[in-house]
Amino acid sequence: MDLFVPDYAIDTEEIYSRGGRNFGDESFALFKCPGCWQVYLIDESADVVYLDPKDVTSRLPAERVRRECVGCGAALPDEPLSGSSAPDEVRVTWDQLRATRWAWVATVEVMLRNQKRMKREAGL
Ligand SMILES: [Zn+2]
């Protein structure tokens, strides 16, 4: 299994059911502050960052979090925070995720289900 949590392991339905919907074209990913390991959920479509795993209505524009991590106050690296070009230091491993209250947001079950769907869609 990949060390890092892939975007398709994120439980979109669960986020919606907790009130985390934006505009319907959500593209969720996880990243972390390399300084203090604060884990964040981002909707790349709306460029909005979810701050609180217990309250997904608590969000900030990604720009604000880039400027100042809510955990340690440091600026985040001026690099992509998600996607294939994100540096390892901002990516979140399964172990790191499970050590936070964000553990519910991505699961192996969702990852496997989406893997199957992606294979089916690719005609494999
Ligand atoms: Zn930080």
Contacts of 102 (CB under 8 A, 6+ apart): 30, 39, 41, 53
What pLDDT sits at residue 124? 78
Q: For the chain (length 124 residues), average pLDDT per consecutive 10?
A: 88 96 92 97 96 96 97 96 94 96 97 95 89
Closest CA to 27 of 13, 49, 7, 57: 7
Q: What is the pTM of this model?
A: 0.93
Cα 116 to ligand 1 centre (Å): 35
What pLDDT sits at residue 30? 98
What pLDDT sits at residue 23? 86
Return the domain boundaries, the chain.
7-121
Cα 33 to ligand 1 centre (Å): 5
What pLDDT sits at residue 7? 95
| Residue 48 phi, psi (nearest 5) | -125, 140
What are the distances in angstroms from CA 52 to CA 8, 18, 46, 87? 20, 12, 17, 23
What pLDDT sits at residue 1? 52
Query: Could you tell me where the DSSP H helices lie in the chain?
Result: 12-17, 62-67, 94-98, 108-121
Cα 12 to ligand 1 centre (Å): 25
